[in-house]
């Protein structure tokens, strides 16, 4: 953290957010490397699992929304995720 560049509370918040982003990027890189170390088939299983969970999350969001705008947003994103899942199903490793 560069304390010399912090002059206001907003500067401190911004600096903390930047550090969190760097830490998060390192954590994700480590996770990604561990998945890659297991091989392509394992990576594909992880991708499918992530997509399945996102699909379930969006299905629940669609059921719970009570506005036309919410229905449109949840539905649009759910469709994109379902297309992504179907595309991944066609990948052979």
**pLDDT value, residue 21:** 77
How many CB atoms within 10 Å of residue 49?
A: 10
The DSSP code sequence of 22-82 is: HHHHHHHHHHHHHHHHH-HHHHHHHHHHHHHHHHHHHHHHHHH--SHHHHHHHHHHHHHHH
How many CB atoms within 10 Å of residue 74?
A: 19
Read off the pLDDT of residues 19-63 as tens digits, 9 standing for 90 and up: 677 788 898 999 999 999 999 999 999 999 999 999 999 999 999
* Higher-confidence position of 93 and 80: 80
Angle CA 39–41–47, to nearest 5: 105
Average the pLDDT over 62-66 and give the result.
94
Identify whether the C-beta of residue 49 lies closer than 8 Å to the C-beta of residue 29.
no
**pLDDT value, residue 1:** 53
């Amino acid at each position: 953290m560069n304390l010399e560049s912090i002059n206001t509370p907003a500067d401190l918040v911004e600096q903390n957010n930047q550090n969190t982003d760097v830490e998060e990027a390192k954590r994700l890189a480590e996770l990604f490397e561990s998945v890659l170390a297991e091989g392509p088939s394992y990576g594909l299983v992880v991708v499918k699992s992530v997509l399945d969970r996102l699909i379930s999350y969006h299905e629940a969001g669609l059921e719970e929304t009570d506005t036309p705008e919410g229905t449109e947003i949840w539905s649009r994103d759910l469709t994109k995720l379902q297309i992504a899942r179907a595309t991944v199903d066609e990948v052979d490793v």
